[in-house]
Structure 1
């Protein structure tokens, strides 16, 4: 892992000055399509609104989960999709649309938007109407509530119904269900159970919301999707992404104001200041944090196994000043210890590697996972290196990869100087199977949930080691994203920075990558390999 702490400006929203925003938006104008640059009107839907509709138009999309910033007009775009769905004939995949949210005002706003779209599309639709929806309890038919609802009927025979609560009668309907501001509705889990029944007959479910805390069922749903537990489509649109896609430009178009990067930057700062401490959650799709470590101690300990080798290598501070033969002997001793551990690996299993780099303050950690017949990721070797020069780290890493049975892939932290080790592996092993990964908040956002899911589902094992346990417990949820802390722990000169946790995350990521590689070797190449050429990537194994 890069030893430079992650700066606040690396986050997608929040600590970006007006001047930085102006510069970024001016740069973005250089890539504007000519249709926009010459003053012609843009498309009706903004890009982030259109992307959601494109996903829903794909017949393979059954459920779409959307994290969004507040008040970016996403529901307005969904109303357009609802009209197009309800106005189609059954043969064209038309269907009823049911819109549900937590307030009557939102349902009225949705049906008004749908009526506007119907007029704009010149579709045959009856005028919007209010009616009473009977919310009956199937277990107690006598318990029936009359819910005020809104409806638009189309010549296709389908209709749009907008409801202000989660009616039990949803179970008797069929079509497209839109659950808006899902983090705020009552009993989201029960509502989803009823809505997912629509999928059996070709329906769709859209769950869209601003966040309302990290313990909310909506955030749990998002984490399940990111972790791969739920096979749903996922979209995330924060305030800055909406602005880059033209939100404020569209506002200026409606209000008649003139748009400039400076006025947009000032407006952005004003909106963020308005939400204050709640801006991260309301605007930037980061649920307010809970407390405690990302991985509970008992959960980590339940996945620990004895007997997994953890090899620690530390060289003296004056290593480079010692004679060459002494340096080579010191390296050779540790290399032989690593090779003995590698010789004990199961030759029938696939292996992947993660490498978190450091040189001075932190540890470099090399983590090897083996894929079991049940696809559990089992740790088979961990190497920790402290004060090891670049060349020695690079040489050892290549030696390990060459000796891994059925090598799958390796992912390297290339945020800083670790790129040198990554490039060396790419040159010596494979450009496609050795991935140089720049660690970022977005990477942690997408790659840490699958790792946590593996811990929770007993699909990963780790060594029974106190320091590795401490590293895994160091990972914290920062602004809604699991990542290493800024502060280091440990004694002076031997501090840790969740290095093992990052190496494990990189290795787990490597097991989920599909690598296809095509190669060609001439007869002279094979002769060189047989003669023991230093660039032999077979590790001495038979080529065929």
Structure 2
């Protein structure tokens, strides 16, 4: 890897690469300097009716360069002519520097009065303290700026104008970023979202599908590789690089590019999202497995719960506990059960998942609990009720990361804590790692694909499962949250389900007996019958998997 380029080296390289473009703009003007799809995009953005524009595109077709010309025209205008700040966001700092540099080139070509391009840091305060966000900007005599920002949603706080999100499918949290950007519309702002695809279940593609299906009224453009070629992409490359254009040379160049991308050509060049990236489980598959009627019980306690009188605390818990007892009473005593628990106390949910296993080894939802704002002692009481009531329980896996270890440890006191040296325990204390996810998420995915699992119908659970992403080849929960306000979720149900499925795969041996029927009574009409012919013994567990 080469050393990072200095500011001066970068400026010289970019100056050399854009001088030919500047000459072209000065000779033929902006309209003819832009290719058809670039000009069409800018014309759409210039129209007063376009407030939000989504563009799915091929990689490296120069659309960002076209965006730079629009950014300069918009920021250089007076306020009375529609001028405003332009904020550019991408997933990499180098992309942002390249965009700001392209804006500087357009400013020179248009002879716009612009001050020197610079870098700056501004502070961003949130609940976790003050952070510094690096940004780039060009200041115009109009009083407006072009600013290149990080993809953190908080970077848009306190700003107003045009927001351009480039390669949106690759930013860390597009959903939250869009929420922050769309607030600009209230004061006449504009939002542009442009990207190559990054998987069918990526938030960018979900937004595109909503537009195409009519559920969303945003403006939309589609520009694939062949459309860009037909509208002059390779001819422009030849013009700038001094090569001679011929149809045969273009055909060869096209074939070389497609070969270069290989299996990724459909997604990278022709706007066809693949199933190999983005969300780990496709939404339709998850919904197809939501066939259970098992209860989902929720308990949401007030923040001042521990300051309330004892009688008040009991009254707040009582309705949930009654529901829980009723649900536990309906569990099938002949089925095997396994439990998973993802612990949280402040920001996120605690989720408990009880799975039952039928004779075909199909896992089915038996009960789900969701606890928000519930103190540790109450959580342990609820979990203990479930473990004691669950028939033929073969395993219980607990999130033992951070404070979750306390619940796992206390349940281990009661039901046996399991580790390498003590394989007979019931409670597995799981400290999450990439290795754990690598080994234990694939079996869960196979259960979905083979119709070997049945879950309760729940929109939040669907969202949690769709949040799982393949990160460096391993299915994991990214550092992103869904939901609104103080009801945010962090894939909590997906983790609880993964833990329960893990526990359900533990090998076990059953020790039980069937008692002999009572001696017939010759005076009884029901001689020889027995209402309880089968008595369940204990289950002894052994380390291993099915």
TM normalised by structure 1 equals 0.46
Larger relative contact order, structure 1 or 2 (CA cutoff 8 Å, min sep 6): 1
Query: Which entry has the higher C-alpha Rg, 1 or 2?
Result: 2
